[in-house]
Structure 1
Amino acid sequence: MEDQCLSILKALGAFDYAAANKLILKISKTYQPLGSILTKLSSCEGSFTQLQFLRSRWFVMRKDTSVEVVYANIASELPKEILNIVSVAAISNQDKNSTIVIMDALAKFCHIRRDMINLYQSILAQSIKGEFDEILVEMESIQKKTMELNLQKDLALLGLGVEKEINILTCLIRARISITNYAFQDACIALYQTKQDLTDWKRLCQEQDYPEKSSSRPDEIKEASTWRFPLFGGQSESKTHHKQGDIWPNTIRWHARVLGNLTAKMTLFFNTILLEKESVVSDEDPDKSLWKGLRIDYYDQICTFKKKFGAHSVSLVYEVTADTPFYPQGYVCPDTTYEAPQGIHSFPFIYCHPKEPPNKHLPNIISIIQGSKHKLSDPKTGPIYFFDSTIGSTYYLMRIDKHAVMVIIYLDKHAHREPTTMEFLTNIVTSLRGSTVIEELIRID
């Protein structure tokens, strides 16, 4: 019976619900109440990993009940069943003891799943505002609790999977906040950990061996091995994604998409820092090779737009605030005294195309940012448009996050908002905000 339970846990952890259900039918013949609970659990896991509890915006507002309630019911049934199984004469004491350990761990697992449902709902609710600091605190609390439970010890891959998932979610949100705060080192570490956990999780799923294993499981994914691994995916990853992406559950596929989105955002924000490294390891044009293999190529988008529509400059201005230290190199050695940038230096360019910063326009840009603070801070407001008749230049601005503002400059007058520029700026900023990829939680299929 212990081996049967272990096989079911492996199948559930590998998202092989067809195999799990076949194995549950067999264990039901030995002890029907346990089979009934595992059947409910398998159904819940199938719904959870496909993110079905987020399908409607209405569910986000009122909190989903179905899957969450079933998990709660399972968690409350298991302690009762632990008491019942003790008196079952047909099961050996050894099987009773091992099954009791598993049932106790499953009850804890169900509570963690309920916490994770709330986390996904909270993430989706922030798709527009993008305020994740409080969510990160909650995630770190759940992550700590999950690690302390050490569910993989008793629940095999199913327990390990929930640990990997909360680690991945926590690192993704941590990476997002780090990029926003221009913390290069922290962003690299968070993205590295995300990629490692995601790769390890997939590999472990592929390696599982259990009866009734479905034949259509994904093949091993091979990663590119360069200095950029595992932050920057190679061509092999991209091809594998398109070929086999539909085999993984929606949770893993969404994690991969968010990772891709954040990796591209980091590449743009820390472009100057990364180009120095890229020029050392690549014989190609570092501006192009840096983006090779990434699912989102902001460099190509910006170059194409500038060339086609004659913009003078496309840049990112970072607005330094008192609550977040800013270091141009993206990190600082411990115990270093921080001196906050003052005046015009508190609005540095962190990305420019062409590379020469449009410094003579910076006073105008700062004036527009400060004068349009409320409009820029409203995520529902489109780009800000401004024409300076004194120097004959037109500016388009749109805020990405609480620090970064994208600026497009033309050296001529636009009597009206230029539709193509408005559309380009809206699309690229929306992508950099991560709003679209977060909302894929309810659209991914």
Structure 2
Amino acid sequence: MASGKQSAESEEAILQGLLAHFSKFSYDKAKEQAEKERDVRGFSGSVVWQSLLSCVAQLATVEKLYMNLSFLTAKGFLRKESSVRASYEALNSELTEMGTERRRPGNNNNNNNNNNNGSSTSATPGSVANDGILRHLCSHLVLFIKARLQLITFYEKLVEMSTNRLMNFEELVCQLTEISTTNSRNFHHPILTPIKTNFTYECDILIHLLRSQIEMQNWGFLPSLLHLHDAHSKLNSWHALVQSKEPKKYGFGSSFLKSWPLPALYQWLWQAKAALVSKFSLYFHETLAAQSSPAEMKALISRQGQACDYVSKIQSFQRKTDAANVCLVLEAGEGYQGPGYHHPNQPTPTPTGINTYPPIFTYPPTKPLERWPSIIMRVNDRNTESALLDRVVHFFDQQIGSTYFLIKVDPKITLVVLFDSKKSEKDSYIKDFIYDLALQLRCNKVFANLKPK
């Protein structure tokens, strides 16, 4: 019995070592060591142990493909299906069989270990007990693989939805939250802690990013800030596990990833956060700028390594085109509280009249008061509501000699560019800039970038 106990402890230690490589994305090393251990113990290990090591080696291979987003790679015409999903499903079948197999009359799998000579030796009670533990681990790995398959379906939907004019982030959050909540109680064996931790970080970070996008669409300063902060904190915590010898702490940006040989999915999470921080810096620029000087604000944005400095981009466009104003107009409704922080127990009256359409960003900073009623009329024109989602809408007001270019950025936010002169609706520089800016702020491209080029 003592030897059986020592064997079980040895096998658990080996599995812990193998899965520790998973937590650092060292999948090749995990595969190599699993296969080496399987070959070394070819004559002494149980059949279940041999099979589990083979499955761990296969899992390392498919996890590497998953983390590099290979499941989103386009399939070529007449290409034989050998997808990441199919590999997970094959592993799922093998582990399910191992996890549910029981002793039956005439079934010697648990009682005998066959060597290459065809001879057999009776298994000790300890080895049978060891097999029971290993089969239990197999059943946990089955639950992990099912969770992975659910995430593959989610990412496929995410990329597909990125082709829509406006993405339904609420639907995505609901689906991902259900996956996370359902699997929070699964594959919880201590030996599987590395893959459980990676799975939890992945889900939590993405949920916070999606929720920050929803809050920004509604111009919620504090909730969007908190979700971005939580995503940032969890990314840094995950990074500390991945690169445990690296003492450096990283900021909100993702510039350090440029020469970082880590999986595509992990890097994309950093890049998605940087893109959303850039959007946050534009939507709440007035509130953030009030806390620092223009020079400090610009230096901070540059130092954080954001995906895009939208404010500088808009300022440059305004100077080149001599636009009278570039603004983002919010369709405020019930629950609107205005910019910045607000005490939760101090309700703000719902805006009425012209205040129902406040500017959340305007450059030059002075709001064009004399043009605001006209801007609101263009934003609120239901005849162009659908067109604003697809293209840049042009309007020239002959009475006052002003030109308006408009496009919907988020469900309640419209980008408006005003000129105090007549501009052609075929002006490609103006229209291309506005259209590209709107697509960037919608963040569709951020999520479309999940798909490997």
Between the aligned partners of 1:170 and 1:416, the Cα distance in structure 2 is: 40
Query: What is the CA deviation profile of residues 37-67 of structure 1, one whole-angstrom value per residue up to 9, with x for unaligned ones?
Result: 22332222122111111122999xxxx9932
State how 1:336-415 maps to structure 2 within 5 Å. 336-337=346-347, 339-372=349-382, 374-376=384-386, 379=389, 381-415=390-424
* C-alpha contact (below 8 Å) 1:101/1:154 kept by paired residues: no
2:154 to 100, 106, 119: 119
1:80 paired residue number:
97
Deviation at 1:374, TM superposition (A): 4.7
**1:4·1:23 contact (CA, 8 Å) conserved in 2?**
no
Give per-residue Cα distances to partners, 1:388-424, cap 9 Å, x unaligned: 1111111111111101111111111114432111111
Distance 1:74 1:21, change over 3 A: same
Aligned length: 410
What CA deviation, in whole Å up to 9, does each residue of 1:307-344 have, x standing for no partner?
1221111111011245xx22213554334445321121
Unaligned runs of 5+ in 1: 208-218, 225-229
* Cα displacement (A) at 1:152: 6.9
Distance 1:378 1:425, change over 3 A: closer
**8 A contact 1:394–1:413 mirrored in 2:** yes
Letter of the structure 2 residue corresponding to residue 44 of structure 1: V
Amino acid at match of 1:317: V
TM-score (norm 2): 0.83
Distance 1:152 1:135, change over 3 A: farther
- Cα pair distance change 1:196/1:318, threshold 3 Å: same
Per-residue CA shift, 1:163-206, capped at 9, x if unaligned?
10011111111111011111111111111111111111122022
Q: CA deviation at 1:136?
A: 0.7
TM-fit CA distance, 1:159: 1.4
- 2:265 aligned with 1:251, yes or no? yes
Residues 1:148 and 2:185 are matched in the alignment:
yes
What amino acid does structure 2 have at the position aligned with 1:371?
Answer: D
- Distance in 2 separating the partners of 1:161 and 1:378: 41
Q: Which residue pairs with 2:309 in the alignment?
A: 297
Name which of 225, 237, 241 aligns with 1:188: 225
Separation in structure 2 between the aligned mates of residue 339 and residue 57 of structure 1, nearest angstrom: 54
- Residues 148 and 388 of structure 1: is their aligned pair in 2 closer, same or farther, counting only changes over 3 Å? same
**Closer/same/farther in 2, CA of residues 341 and 153 from structure 1, 3 Å limit:** farther
Q: 1:308 aligns with which of 320, 329, 332?
A: 320
Q: In the alignment, is the contact (CA less than 8 A) between 2:275 and 2:446 conserved in 1?
A: yes
The answer to whether 1:37 aligns with 2:72 is no
> Identity, % of aligned pairs?
25
Q: Which moved more, 1:78-87 or 1:352-361?
A: 78-87
Cα distance in 2 between the residues matched to 1:195 and 1:188? 10
The Cα shift of 1:251 comes to: 0.6
> Does the 8 Å CA contact 1:385/1:417 hold for their aligned counterparts?
no
| Counterpart AA for 2:258 | H
Tell me the distance in 1 between the aligned counterparts of 2:190 and 2:384.
Answer: 52
The one-letter code of the counterpart of 2:265 is T
Cα distance 1:407–1:297, how it changes in 2: closer, same or farther (>3 A)?
same
The residue aligned with 1:442 is 451
Gaps of 5+ in 2: 1-10, 40-44, 103-108, 113-122
Structure 2 residue corresponding to 1:222, chosen from 248, 259, 265: 248
- 1:431 equivalent in structure 2: 440
Worse overlay, 257-266 or 269-278: 269-278
Partner of 1:102: 137
Q: Is the 8 A contact 1:254 1:441 kept in 2?
A: yes
Kept in 2: contact 1:388–1:394 (CA 8 A): yes
Residue pair 1:180, 1:402 contacting (<8 A) in 2 also: yes
Larger Rg: 2
